[in-house]
Structure 1
Amino acid sequence: MLRRPYVPLLVTGLALACGMLAPSGTQASEGPHPGSRVTATTVAGPAAAAPTLIHPQRKYLGVFREGAPSSMRPVEEFGQLTGKQPNLVLYYAGWGDGFHASGVRNAWNRGALTVVSWEPHGTTLAAVARGDSDAYVRRYAAAVRTLGIPVAISFADEMNGDWEDWGTTSATPEEFVAAWRRVHRIFDEAGADRVIWTWSPNITNAIGDSVRLADYDPGDAYVDWTGIVGYFTDWDPHTFDELFGPTIDEVRALSRRPLLILETGAVPGARRAEHIRELCEGIRARPDVIGFSWFDKKARADWRLETEGDGIAAFRSCVADERYGFDVRGLPFGSR
């Protein structure tokens, strides 16, 4: 779903950080160098005996809010609104932007993992695949390695739709897979190994049967999470299973990797509270869905939670569940 205008990220020095309380009952580690990999055999889903960042036993509660993670105040305010502090912070980076190390550090120091939605505007996937951006990607990977803090990266999300510069009208599935694998390989060569690679298609029932996710999947050797993008609207299905089920079924035919609802929201109106309850109950019923991230911005629709009291109440009830929220600093990175 095209739900936001593209605004390039400008990183200008260290960001101003504001306090954010870690969830009660968690043990936070100190220092910026956590998340060492474990060597246990990769498990099939998030319900591993020993929880990790990749396979947590509890759910991520995420949010996109403008200004974060340069400042964590927007995230803290969202936590005050909803009754629980998010432990996942999403932001958007343009192709050519530097790695936002200070923002990732801000989030981590307050118990949250950052997800970078890395959007290749101003180039083509064919150009990325043939190496035109290698020098830039190497610099980015080196910055990620130097920081040493785990981060999730969603490269070229919603690739199965026709509205993005890298979508179905601008690139082939083969170009997408080749570009993804090339970027991944450069990170591996740079030693930037604390990245949770997040492959993020849009819900398929908004697209039709002509586009097959199997054609766009880089494979388990290159992907850690599947991040699904889908929004509750007045014209789309109104239940979790109807909105996300077809996509989950198609993904599950490809892989058992953990699922994250990477971007979601519900349009204001009479059904917003109902939609939020559907989102919550649907995720609660699926151990393989490790959480969600709310797109809290006024764009083509006003996705901001604060606009409706009934929606706020439903959201607060949802995330009051003890399964939501944990201090990410207390978990190892995990194995793939």
Structure 2
Amino acid sequence: MRFSKLWSLFAILVVAFGVMLAGIQPANAAQSKPAKPVSPKPGATAPAAPQLSSARLRFGAVTNGGPLSTSEITEVANLAGEVPSIELYYKDFAQPIPIAELNAVRSRGALSLVTWEPWTWGGAPVNQPAYSLDRVTAGDFDAHITQWGNGLRDWGYPVMLRFAHEMNGNWYPWAEGVNGNEAGDYVAAWRHVHDVVAATGATNVQWVWAPNVPYWGSTPLSGLYPGSAYVDIVGLDGYNWGTSQSWSVWTSPQDLFGQGLSELRTLAPGKQILITETASSELGGSKADWNTVLVSYLNAQPDVTGFVWFHLNKEVDWRINSSPASASALAAALAARR
């Protein structure tokens, strides 16, 4: 037993001495033998960066940070498998023309869809008497409108201007029936703003008239359409809220947009149509399936030229990547429609 213990002690000392010697290395030992570079496998290539698509049905997006948040636009492009060819963003009546945003969008080869809202952010959500429609028509904001017209004219490149959207609802101060607005006021205000901008010579502006999808109790579109001479593109905003709200149910793309598309075609025959805002909740059904059906359904409509995804986590998580399945399905649907 004693010899066995001595032998064990000797073995431990030998191991410890070996470890000590292994640890005594020059400070730059790691650098003295650089790792052998790993050669790529024959035929392997790095994944291609997302590009703009040439598909007839254009894909667009709106993000929280807008066009100046390059990282958010890059995220959307990576999720969708293509660079958005339409970028939607918002400006109120207190903000100057967004030249920096216009240039950022153009640098990516995309087209700006500027939502121009006749109110001020941070005010009351509906009651802003200073921005009632009759004040717009009376010319109270002509200096500001002219400034925008001059700026857009001087900028010189194509831009889509979506003025006072979702006017058939009751949640904005430019809707009829709220904020002191009466029947006929919306069309009068739209035509006035259009004419003031047109007088500056801003022929590069395309006017986008975009109601919300009609719903029970919404203002009829027939009394809100300014006329073909005042509108270049008709749009439609629609969301599948699923069961995220007490009043909402899961709604297919066909049921969501069918009636609105039919009404737009009646009101504005021959005009191109854009789905100017859309997205789906995850609650109440399969968002992945909804995304697939949405792209297929819209792609089958010859007069629908694009759609804009609302990539924000707002009332619910509307983002493309609210789940991995949602993101994968949208990318696959977009790739299939090319």
TM-score category (smaller protein): 0.7 to 0.9
Which residue of structure 2 aligns with residue 249 of structure 1? Answer: 262
Which of these residues, 233, 249, 258, is aligned with residue 241 of structure 2?
233
8 Å CA contact 2:51, 2:82 repeated in 1: no
Structure number with the bigger relative contact order (C-alpha 8 A, sep ≥ 6) is: 1
**Counterparts of 1:305 and 1:81 in 2: how far apart (Å)?**
7
Matching residue's letter, 2:76 = F
Q: Deviations over 1:213-263 (max 9, x none)?
A: 010000110101111000012134522221111111111111121110000
Point out the structure with max Rg over C-alpha.
2
3-state SS in 1 of match to 2:229: coil
Which residue of structure 1 aligns with residue 185 of structure 2? Answer: 175
1:172: Cα distance to partner? 2.9
Aligned CA RMSD, in angstroms, stands at 1.7
| Change in CA separation of 1:152 and 1:173 when aligned onto 2, cut-off 3 Å | farther
Q: Normalised by the size of structure 2, how large is the TM-score? A: 0.76
8 Å CA contact 2:295, 2:337 repeated in 1: no
**Counterparts of 1:251 and 1:173 in 2: how far apart (Å)?**
20
Which of these residues, 67, 74, 82, is aligned with residue 69 of structure 1?
67
Which residue of structure 2 aligns with residue 268 of structure 1? Answer: 282
1:274: Cα distance to partner? 2.0
8 Å CA contact 2:168, 2:211 repeated in 1: yes
Which residue of structure 1 aligns with residue 11 of structure 2? Answer: none
Which residue of structure 1 aligns with residue 172 of structure 2? Answer: 164
1:322: Cα distance to partner? 5.0
Spell out the pairing of 1:31-180 with structure 2 (5 A cutoff).
58-122=56-120, 123-170=131-178, 171-180=181-190
**Counterparts of 1:144 and 1:296 in 2: how far apart (Å)?**
27
3-state SS in 2 of match to 1:279: helix
Q: Normalised by the size of structure 1, how large is the TM-score? A: 0.77
1:282: Cα distance to partner? 1.2
Which residue of structure 2 aligns with residue 29 of structure 1? Answer: none
| Change in CA separation of 1:213 and 1:236 when aligned onto 2, cut-off 3 Å | farther
1:307: Cα distance to partner? 1.9
Which residue of structure 2 aligns with residue 194 of structure 1? Answer: 204
8 Å CA contact 1:64, 1:293 repeated in 2: yes
**Counterparts of 1:142 and 1:21 in 2: how far apart (Å)?**
35
**Counterparts of 1:84 and 1:290 in 2: how far apart (Å)?**
16
Does the alignment pair 1:305 with 2:320?
A: yes
Q: Deviations over 1:29-71 (max 9, x none)?
A: xxxxxxxxxxxxxxxxxxxxxxxxxxxx712211000222123
3-state SS in 1 of match to 2:68: coil
8 Å CA contact 2:296, 2:337 repeated in 1: no
8 Å CA contact 2:50, 2:78 repeated in 1: no
Identity rate of aligned residues, in percent? 34
3-state SS in 1 of match to 2:230: coil
Matching residue's letter, 1:228 = L
**Counterparts of 2:235 and 2:175 in 1: how far apart (Å)?**
16
**Counterparts of 1:82 and 1:60 in 2: how far apart (Å)?**
12
**Counterparts of 1:304 and 1:226 in 2: how far apart (Å)?**
24
Q: Deviations over 1:56-94 (max 9, x none)?
A: x71221100022212333112210112111010000101
8 Å CA contact 1:69, 1:89 repeated in 2: yes
Which of these residues, 202, 215, 226, is aligned with residue 218 of structure 1?
226
Q: Deviations over 1:167-222 (max 9, x none)?
A: 233223411111111111111110111111100100002x43x6210100001101
Spell out the pairing of 1:256-335 with structure 2 (5 A cutoff).
256=269, 257-269=271-283, 270-321=285-336, 323=338
Matching residue's letter, 1:250 = E
Q: Tell me how many residue pairs correspond in the alignment.
A: 271
Matching residue's letter, 1:197 = W
3-state SS in 2 of match to 1:251: helix
**Counterparts of 2:58 and 2:198 in 1: how far apart (Å)?**
26
**Counterparts of 2:337 and 2:213 in 1: how far apart (Å)?**
28
Which residue of structure 1 aligns with residue 37 of structure 2? Answer: none
Structure 1 residue ranges without an equivalent (≥5): 1-19, 27-56, 324-336
**Counterparts of 1:131 and 1:124 in 2: how far apart (Å)?**
12
**Counterparts of 2:313 and 2:250 in 1: how far apart (Å)?**
22
1:275: Cα distance to partner? 1.6
**Counterparts of 2:183 and 2:208 in 1: how far apart (Å)?**
17
